[in-house]
Amino acid sequence: MIDVALVPGEIVEKKVSASQVVVVIDVLRASTTIITALEAGASSVIPVVETEEAISLSASLGEQTVLGGERQGRRLLGFHLGNSPLEYTPEIVRGRVVVMTTTNGTFALKKVKGAHAIAVAAFRNAAAVAAMLRAHLSQGRQVLLVCAGTERRFTLEDACLAGLLVELVTGGSEPGASALVSGKECERADEKESECETESECEMESGIREISTREISASTTGLTDSAWAALSLWRAVERNPYNAVTRSRHGQRLIEMGFGADVEFCARLSDCDVIPILQDGRLIKLGG
């Protein structure tokens, strides 16, 4: 079964169990930042909820710690880094532990306990996460996708990523064969569409091959209503991550705050195979 918690508050009702694999989603920006930090060589990322806890933990771990975090989208006073994935470069984080606190993502990570495995997903590692989830489902485990939202409320971009994962896991197409491209490229292809004489010509010109649209049976795949809702939202934004992040209220707010480059970076699709896994309170690379 694949279930989706569209806001983290649903976790209380859904009761995480040892038979489940939980994937936490906070596209803008904690998930993307955590993935990028590990990709850049950070040894681990420790998610914490409170600012004071992050400062205390960082001090106890010593000089090799990077303190990262935000509130209301802005870097916290005295912290090395904020929540921009573009700040987490190899020069800064390679070989170091990152202690991170954010408004939404780290809160959601602390809400999920007792699962068989807990992972982090963003658009950047969608294909890799989908492959992992298919393996777990084949072993009889259940999947719960947890959307972190914004200030405990629903957000479009997190639900759309959940929908993409549902589609990749249940749709039968290999992620590598779906030719998922960046949202900017999809947007430019949309602008060219009216110039094409046929649908196949548009696909050849834009380099986009659509994910299989064959119908999925809820009775055979075990999708909950919320999983179907997430899938529908992903299709409503034309399967385009750039649409998801720029049409969302949170994405528009970040752009207004000057983080447009972050928003665009968070729309990059399946360009990274790093999967953060929570072990003993630390996020580390799966298989690393």
Confidence check: pLDDT of 135 > 80: yes
Placement of tokens 């990028």 in the chain: 36
Q: What DSSP letter does each residue of 34-81 carry, written as one string?
A: HHHHHHTT-SEEEE-SSHHHHHHHHHHH-TTEEEEEEETTEEPTT-SB
CA proximity to 23, closest of 120, 116, 107, 142:
120
Sheet holding 44-47, edge to edge: 2-5, 142-147, 20-25, 117-121, 276-279, 282-285, 44-47, 97-101, 65-71, 74-75
**Cα–Cα distance between 250 and 239 in angstroms, integer?**
19
Confidence check: pLDDT of 151 > 60: yes
**Cα–Cα distance between 246 and 243 in angstroms, integer?**
5
**Cα–Cα distance between 234 and 163 in angstroms, integer?**
5
Residue-wise pLDDT for 156-169, tens only, equals 999 999 999 999 99
Q: Where are the domains of the chain?
A: 2-210+219-285
The amino acid occupying position 235 is R
3-class SS of residue 188? helix
| Percentage of residues of the chain with pLDDT beyond 90 | 73
* Mean pLDDT of the chain, nearest integer: 86
What pLDDT was estimated at residue 67?
A: 98
Confidence check: pLDDT of 219 > 50: no
The amino acid occupying position 219 is S
H or E, element range at 260: helix 260-266
CA proximity to 33, closest of 142, 148, 117:
148
Which range (22-26, 89-93, 272-276, 284-288) has the least confidence?
Answer: 284-288
Count CB-CB contacts under 10 A for residue 257.
13
**Cα–Cα distance between 76 and 68 in angstroms, integer?**
8
- Could you name the CATH architecture of 2-210+219-285? Alpha-Beta Complex (3.90)
Q: Strands 20-25 and 142-147: what pairing?
A: parallel
CA proximity to 93, closest of 287, 286, 283, 249:
283
What pLDDT was estimated at residue 184?
A: 56
Residue-wise pLDDT for 154-209, tens only, equals 999 999 999 999 999 997 443 333 334 445 554 544 454 444 444 544 443 343 33
**Cα–Cα distance between 175 and 43 in angstroms, integer?**
27
What pLDDT was estimated at residue 152?
A: 87
Structure tokens that stand for 185 in this block: 């490229």
